[in-house]
Structure 1
Amino acid sequence: MKISRIQELLEARYLTGEAFQDRSIWSACGGELVAEILKSADKDCVLLTGLTTSEVVRLGIIAEVGCIVFVRGRRVDRGVIDAAAECRLPLLSTSLPLFVACGQLYMDGLRGFAESW
């Protein structure tokens, strides 16, 4: 699934990285706890989270995620957006809650990491 499709399904807006809208995403991971995200995030996945600290960008880089979607319309500081832009990591924001956002992607065919289904 392309990032542009994720953006469309979640009615999300780009915070940075719109130039990478054709990047392929192979799975999804949703969570609020750093340890759980590290355990379940696959390379080139979309990470859905309510965490908006700079840690989540570093986490995304370490886990090699394809993009990050902030849920519940969470406000994201400019420093977090700038850090992601510097690393070419697309950030999106949706007003949907985490559960609904994950469900929308699942219904359109995107699955969790390999061991989760």
Structure 2
Amino acid sequence: MAAENDIVLIYFEDQPLSFARIEEILPDSKPDWYHVKLLMLQLPLQVVTWILRDRYIMGDEFTMNGKRMRLEKVVCPDALPEEADSDEDGVEPSSPPHDEKATVISLKDKRKR
């Protein structure tokens, strides 16, 4: 089940529509229904609140205005296997040359307080 701070992909009529972050999930007065506050990750940013059953938050299909909708929790993919790092010819990608005199500048230290 998706939870607060999870990223979800919103499907509209079986087509991916938009990403959103779940900001808050609060119980409704009806059992198994919740007020789900979503930050829509698009421009301009919008915050919407949908009243959904618990199973809809888990990914079951529901309808809005007669249109099929679904939420799918976004999971960060695992790192690719090492075989996928080489191109189709089996040649390993080259890494950029390292500069021995390079320095790292901390933006945190440059921040105005």
TM bracket (short chain): under 0.3
Larger Rg: 2
Higher relative CO (Cα under 8 Å, sequence separation at least 6) belongs to: 1
Between Structure 1 and Structure 2, the one with more helix by share is 1
